[in-house]
Amino acid sequence: MAINTPVKKTATNGIATVPTAVPPMDISAIIAAAVADAVAKAMAPKATVPAVDPAVVAEIARLKAENAKLSAAKPVVKVKRPLVFKVSEKRAMSIYNLGARFPVTLYKEQMYALLDAATEIRAFLKANDAALANKGDN
């Protein structure tokens, strides 16, 4: 079948079939329309970026300056909470607020041994002061 040859279709109206003619397809007109559409889309003005309100720019600058000032300020020192002593469920002694997430828990004889070794512990800490870190040191 040639491109420009009319094609006959049949339409059904429920009772009888009536042949109808379809106009020939013009490929060059379809291509020209598609090219024109593509050119129109390419030449259409692009969406512009909306202008920024000067008040917003000034507020952002103020907030950045405030953030820099707060970052340069002294770090907040946590208030040291007093040590709290409790008897645990297993009847051991728990010491809270040593800076760890969990308490230090020792049985009675372990605590007495630790207290008896207090002078040796202090001497060890003093001798190894340079090698030992404080909490928060990296």
Percent of the chain predicted with pLDDT > 90:
41
Q: What is the residue extent of each domain of the chain?
A: 84-127
Contacts of 94 (CB under 8 A, 6+ apart): 85, 86, 87, 88, 103, 104, 105
Q: How many helices (H) and strands (E) does the chain have?
A: 4, 5
Side chain identity at 101, as an amino acid letter? Answer: R
**pLDDT at res. 109:** 97
Instruction: Tell me the two tokens of residue 93.
Output: 């002694």
Instruction: Tell me the two tokens of residue 65.
Output: 């300056």
**pLDDT at res. 92:** 97
**pLDDT at res. 111:** 96
**pLDDT at res. 115:** 96
**pLDDT at res. 99:** 83
Q: Extract the residue ranges of the chain whose pLDDT is less than 50.
A: 1, 7
Instruction: Tell me the two tokens of residue 14.
Output: 């429920």
**pLDDT at res. 136:** 73
15-25 burial string, b = 16+ CB within 10 Å, else e? eeeeeeeeeee
* pLDDT tens string 43-65: 777 777 677 888 999 999 999 99
